[in-house]
């Protein structure tokens, strides 16, 4: 079996050249030929993804965080190829949802000897996301997080810390027209967060997992509030003590149409920010992505003989 492996230089702290050698050697021992490429920018990532899609390898492995995995997954939807994951990011929610181990040796064993299943993916105007999407304040949080990373390095604590650092700034309220499964709603909010990963919602200490288990999105509409209350919200997020009735409204929906007064808007997708045309059309694409997950038992047939 030939496998294309794409490693993001910016994900994690491991030396990527040494990691590439380890991956190549270990997968060879497991009976697979790995073609590893280390990328250093978003443009290189897209180029590597394009090459992998057009190659003869049936499996494309994403080595990085949730943003890297989502970008590669976007190109694999409908391609017939399967996605393997080497978790190297800060949170790795998608890998955890699939049951993929954080340890390198075990993750490689899954890639070489796991089974293929299908996973749901979120879609907004043709853009794929695996965990979440948002508009409003959250793109600013992501920008603050990247600045914090550059100064102090990457860690979960610093990622969470970037939230209150951003929320102390005055929030701009956004007027939204939301159509959730055909039901029209009007909201004025600093943040609309659309969750598609129940594990991430649980880690943040908020409800909504039942929506996702029912193959729907969990929409979190933040209440309008001033800077001090927003900062307090960030602290409660850090402590995982969010209060649903006071902090946000939860809406479950399988298809969502978001109307704004702007022609274009910054939209966060799994930690990456894109500029999209409005209105925003969200839908859940059921079982659209082929993924490699751990075998159900030790006697499970290998992915490719």
Q: Domain spans of the chain? A: 2-113, 129-286
Once rounded to an integer, what is the mean pLDDT over residues 215-219?
Answer: 95
Q: Sign of the CA dihedral 193, 199, 200, 202?
A: positive
Whether 62 and 69 have beta carbons less than 8 Å apart is answered as yes
Q: How far apart are CA 171 and CA 104, in angstroms?
A: 41
Tokens representing 286 are: 């059921």
Give the separation between CA 303 and CA 197, rounded to whole angstroms: 26
For residue 219, the tally of other CB atoms under 10 A from its CB is 25
Lowest mean pLDDT among 7-16, 52-61, 181-190, 286-295: 7-16
Q: Between these two residues, 149 and 73, which has the higher pLDDT value?
A: 73
Q: Give the separation between CA 46 and CA 55, rounded to whole angstroms.
A: 14
* Average pLDDT of every residue of the chain: 85
* Nearest residue to 83 (alpha-carbon basis) of 11, 4, 14, 16: 4
* Residue 50 confidence (pLDDT): 97
pTM of the complete model: 0.83
Q: Does domain 129-286 have CATH number 2.60.200.40?
A: yes
Please report which confidence band the pLDDT of residue 305 belongs to, taking 50, 70 and 90 as the band edges: very low
β-strand 183-189 against 280-293: which pairing, if any? unpaired
CATH code: domain 2-113 is 3.40.50.10330
Given the structure tokens 């929906």, which residue do they identify?
A: 253
- Per-residue pLDDT band for 177 (boundaries 50, 70, 90) equals very high
Residue 41 has pLDDT above 50, yes or no: yes
Task: Say which residues have a Cβ less than 8 Å from residue 51's Cβ, sequence separation at least 6.
Answer: 4, 37
Residue 81 near residue 118 (C-beta atoms within 8 A): no
Residues 6+ apart with CB under 8 A from 18: none
Model confidence over 104-138: pLDDT tens digits? Answer: 999 999 999 999 999 999 999 999 999 999 898 76
- Name the band, by pLDDT with cuts 50, 70 and 90, for residue 175: very high
Choose among 274, 285, 281: nearest CA to 259.
Answer: 281
> Which 3 state secondary structure label does DSSP give 298?
coil
Whether 152 contacts 158, CB under 8 Å: yes
Nearest to 95 by CA among 123, 137, 122, 63: 63
How far from each other are the two terminal CA atoms of the chain, in whole angstroms? 8
Work out the number of other CB atoms within 10 angstroms of the CB of residue 246. Answer: 12
């Amino acid at each position: 079996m030939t496998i294309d492996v794409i490693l993001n230089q910016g994900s994690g702290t491991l030396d990527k050249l040494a990691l590439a050698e380890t991956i190549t050697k270990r997968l060879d021992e497991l009976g697979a030929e790995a073609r590893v490429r280390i990328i250093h920018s978003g443009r290189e990532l897209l180029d590597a993804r394009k090459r992998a899609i057009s190659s003869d390898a049936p499996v494309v492995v994403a080595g990085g965080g949730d943003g890297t995995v989502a970008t590669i997954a976007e190109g694999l939807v409908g391609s017939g190829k399967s996605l393997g994951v080497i978790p190297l990011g800060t949170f790795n929610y998608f890998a955890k949802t699939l049951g993929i181990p954080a340890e390198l040796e075990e993750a490689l064993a899954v890639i070489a000897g796991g089974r293929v299943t299908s996973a749901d993916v979120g879609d907004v105007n043709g853009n794929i996301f695996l965990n979440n999407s948002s508009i409003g304040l959250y793109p600013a949080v992501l920008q603050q997080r990247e600045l914090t990373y550059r100064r102090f390095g990457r860690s979960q604590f610093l990622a969470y810390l970037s939230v209150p650092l951003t929320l102390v700034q005055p929030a701009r309220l956004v007027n939204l027209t939301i159509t959730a499964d055909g039901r029209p709603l009007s909201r004025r909010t600093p943040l609309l967060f659309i969750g598609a990963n129940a594990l991430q919602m649980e880690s943040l200490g908020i409800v909504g997992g039942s929506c996702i288990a029912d193959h729907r999105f969990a929409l979190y509409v933040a209440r309008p509030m001033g800077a001090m209350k927003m900062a307090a919200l960030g602290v409660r997020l850090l402590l995982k003590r969010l209060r649903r009735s006071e902090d946000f409204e939860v809406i479950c929906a399988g298809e969502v149409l978001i109307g704004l007064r702007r022609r274009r808007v910054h939209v966060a997708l799994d930690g990456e920010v894109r500029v999209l045309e409005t209105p925003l059309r969200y839908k859940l694409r059921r079982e659209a992505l082929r993924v490699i997950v751990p075998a159900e038992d030790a006697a499970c047939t290998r992915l490719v003989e």
